A and B are shown apart, each in its own frame.
Chain A
């Protein structure tokens, strides 16, 4: 890891900041200039806190992932609504560990966020060696199947999108 300062350390982050700035204010040339200035200056100033730039290797996969997760959130909402309104002593709550294949902090955060946003599961802790994510589920009957589902449905795509290791 070099400590040389880069001019644009996080291009994707800068673009996202510019878009956020424009949406928050207005789509005028003045705000475009100010937004661009801030989107370039702030990542430059804080780049020491973010040593590893986030790289999106497969943008189309990312868009598909967002659509898929949105759909899952909708479905899970109805499922959990039924569970909450039904008798609560039938619920099979459990903690389980998900062994992680992904290593990047950002990717783990996105996976933990996805798990928490999907109703029914909340990510509770990350083991100190960053190898396992501890998850609490509201109602789970087959823990092995649940772990495999999360690994295949969320972890694999995230690994492909954000982490591309040279073979």
Chain B
């Protein structure tokens, strides 16, 4: 494998690993539940994205044929990751998990109560 491919693949892998690491640090460090949710969104986008680009380049070089199966990982992640984040956040809102964020306008809990009353 030529040197420039090795270097490029390494750069992509390190780039992805860096963002996965920052995502994990965010998950550990941020002060409340909702802020912690923001960590993993980075890992699923640029973190995985960088590794996928590295993998595509590596296997394209190794098998002398353009490989793009990895793009499907991105597709599936982009469909499932927001859905799971949404469900987790929604569950936390309804359980009234402690947070420090300020609310604006109406809160969803009140609407739920109204619905239950009517």
A residues with a Cβ closer than 8 A to B are 20, 23-24, 73-74, 77, 80-81, 84-85, 88-89, 91, 93-97, 112-120, 122-125, 127-128, 132, 134, 136, 138, 143
Contact = CB atoms under 8 A, between A and B. Distances in A.
B104 A143 contact: yes
B56 interface: no
Contact of B82 (A81, A94, A123, A132): A123
Interface of B: 19, 22-23, 25-26, 29-32, 34-35, 37-39, 41-42, 44-46, 68-69, 71-72, 75, 78-79, 81-83, 85-86, 89-90, 92-93, 99-108, 111-112, 115
A131 to B, nearest CB: 10
30 contacts: A20-B72, A77-B19, A77-B45, A80-B26, A81-B42, A84-B23, A84-B26, A84-B42, A88-B29, A89-B31, A93-B32, A93-B99, A93-B102, A112-B82, A113-B83, A114-B82, A115-B82, A116-B41, A119-B45, A122-B38, A122-B85, A123-B82, A123-B89, A124-B34, A125-B89, A127-B106, A127-B108, A132-B105, A132-B106, A134-B108
Given A97-B104, A143-B104, A117 B69 contact: no
